[in-house]
Structure 1
Amino acid sequence: MRRLDGKSVLITGASSGIGRAIALRFANEGAHVVLADVTQTVREGGVPTLDLLREAGHDAEFVRTDVAVEADAQAAVDYTLRRHGRLDVLVNDAAISVGKPLLETSLDEWNRVFAVNLTGVFLMSRAAVCAMLAQPPQGEVRGRIVNVSSQHGMISAPGNVAYGTSKAGVVYLTRQIAADYAAHGIVCNAVAPGKIVTGKSGPAASAQAIDYSTARTPMRRLGRPDDVANAALFLASDEATFLTGDNLLVDGGWMAA
């Protein structure tokens, strides 16, 4: 039996990078997947996630969603409920970055990063928890939330003040939701990626950044999206018992060194 057989899963940021890898991994484990993103275009290039899933025979749908918009967040959850009758797992992966230090970050840039990275997690989680509380439990659990935080929610994100601060908020929000709703059968955890190579271009993909991150990582390789997807799969599955409010590092030992 596959680990998510028959589970209804809603994934934000599912068109590219880590969210795309999570969608593919979950579908291979039997999940009915709803992809939520502002676009179907794959940032790193390639066939859209929805097309890949359907070509492989998986049950998948796409709903255009800006997680920073309250109505969009609610609509994504409502669509999943109409399509599958319940929402078993929400994965909050959608995130953006402006890659600037404090003195170069405008208020508009700060607000937009927080709107997507933190307010988006709040809006999606609020809509999801409301739906999960109204559905019967399966075993001890009514629903699970898996947030994608970052190691930069615990240490500084050099030259990227809005991103790092917003991810610190995701770590806190994960614990708050977990503590507030554990008694109601809601499980909420986060997975915190280290340096993950997604194929996306930019300063983080420069030769200097790659060399530094490789040398800094005890496992002596950089992470892949599938590394994060595997950890998210565990947190989304029934194997994650007596575990809530955790922030699981997937960083090759970076934070341990």
Structure 2
Amino acid sequence: MKRLEGKVALVPGSGSGLGRAAALRFAAEGALVVGGDTDHVSALQTQRLIGREGGIALNAAKLDLTDPGSVQVWAQEAVDAFGGIDLLLAHTPTARGAHIEDQSFDDYTATIRSQLDSVWLCAKAVWPHLTLGDSCIITVASAAAVAGSPDRGLGAQAAAAGGVVSMSRQLAAEGAAFGIRVNCLSPAGIALEGAGPTPAEAGGCAPVGRAGRAEDLLNAAVFLASGEASFITGAHLVVDGGWSAVRPG
């Protein structure tokens, strides 16, 4: 039996990068995937890729993760189609990096809104529809939450990532009585098609000597979403090839 067999999984940003990789992997593990993206055409392409592999996917209308109404409609479409929600991968790809002397307040607030507020909006939208006793939210923060970098302007991203980590623990505390598990992944050095650092750049960051791959992060996500992790909630797992354990930079 596949590890996510029959689970209804919501994956934002499914048109590219981590979102597309997650949608494809979750579908391969047996999940019924509900994608969504501001780029509706790319999200439809992901849906077709899943279908070609024999998976099942629904692509909602254009999804804006910073718009409460858009996120609510997305969650409701999943419920209308499949009757409930079992899994949310709450991640956001957008960040505007700069050192503090160069970063505008608009860029700072845009990053917070994109990377922190959107996670809260997604969690709030799915919360009433989660399958009680057997559901989970996996948030995606960043290793910037646990280590600073003198040569990269990560102030806004670090603030947002730290907020996601703390929010995840609080949601885990609130959801425990209902069987809702919430865990957080913090990646760094993951090279993704069309997003993130190049393999050469990412490989130079990690003590393990290679770039991270989407499957490195998604292996952890699938484990946390599966029954194998039924006693794990409120956890924060850094997936960065040892970067944050050795040195900042």
Question: Same-fold call, TM > 0.5?
Answer: yes
Distance (Å, rounded) in 2 between the aligned partners of 1:215 and 1:50: 34
Secondary structure at the aligned position of 1:180 is classed as helix
* Residue type at the aligned position of 1:22: A
* 1:49 corresponds to: 46
Identity of aligned residues (%): 35
The partner residue of 1:110 within 108, 111, 131 is 108
- How big is the alpha-carbon RMSD for the aligned residues of Structure 1 and Structure 2? 2.0
The partner residue of 2:155 within 141, 144, 161 is 161
Say if 2:203 and 2:212, in contact at 8 Å, map to a contact too: no
Q: Which consecutive residues of structure 1, in runs of 5 or more, have no partner in the other structure?
A: none
Does the alignment pair 1:195 with 2:189? yes
* 1:21 corresponds to: 21
Distance (Å, rounded) in 2 between the aligned partners of 1:201 and 1:82: 32
Distance (Å, rounded) in 2 between the aligned partners of 1:25 and 1:206: 20
Distance (Å, rounded) in 1 between the aligned partners of 2:244 and 2:102: 28
Distance (Å, rounded) in 2 between the aligned partners of 1:206 and 1:131: 38
Distance (Å, rounded) in 1 between the aligned partners of 2:73 and 2:42: 23
Secondary structure at the aligned position of 1:239 is classed as helix
TM-score (norm 2): 0.90
Say if 2:36 and 2:59, in contact at 8 Å, map to a contact too: yes
* Residue type at the aligned position of 1:247: H
Per-residue CA deviations over 1:10-31 (Å, capped at 9, x if unaligned) read 0112221112111111100100
Q: CA deviation at 1:163?
A: 1.6
* 1:214 corresponds to: 203
* 1:174 corresponds to: 168
Say if 1:4 and 1:26, in contact at 8 Å, map to a contact too: yes
Distance (Å, rounded) in 2 between the aligned partners of 1:68 and 1:121: 9
Per-residue CA deviations over 1:137-196 (Å, capped at 9, x if unaligned) read 3xxx24200011111111125213212211111111111100122112110001111201
Distance change in 2, residues 1:109/1:239 (3 Å): same
Say if 1:14 and 1:93, in contact at 8 Å, map to a contact too: no
Q: CA deviation at 1:255?
A: 2.6
Distance (Å, rounded) in 2 between the aligned partners of 1:218 and 1:125: 34
Distance (Å, rounded) in 1 between the aligned partners of 2:73 and 2:103: 32
Stretches (4+) displaced over 6 A: none
Distance (Å, rounded) in 1 between the aligned partners of 2:141 and 2:173: 18
Say if 2:182 and 2:233, in contact at 8 Å, map to a contact too: yes
Q: Which consecutive residues of structure 2, in runs of 5 or more, have no partner in the other structure?
A: none
Say if 2:90 and 2:140, in contact at 8 Å, map to a contact too: yes
Q: CA deviation at 1:57?
A: 2.0
Distance (Å, rounded) in 1 between the aligned partners of 2:239 and 2:36: 23
Please show how residues 1-257 of structure 1 align to structure 2 within 5 Å: 1-40=1-40, 48-63=45-60, 64-132=62-130, 135=131, 137=132, 141-157=133-149, 158-200=152-194, 204-205=197-198, 210=201, 213-257=202-246
Secondary structure at the aligned position of 1:156 is classed as coil
Say if 1:11 and 1:34, in contact at 8 Å, map to a contact too: yes
Distance (Å, rounded) in 2 between the aligned partners of 1:106 and 1:83: 42
* Residue type at the aligned position of 1:79: E
- Aligned residue pairs total 243
Say if 1:26 and 1:233, in contact at 8 Å, map to a contact too: yes
* Greater mean alpha carbon deviation, residues 78-87 or residues 107-116: 107-116
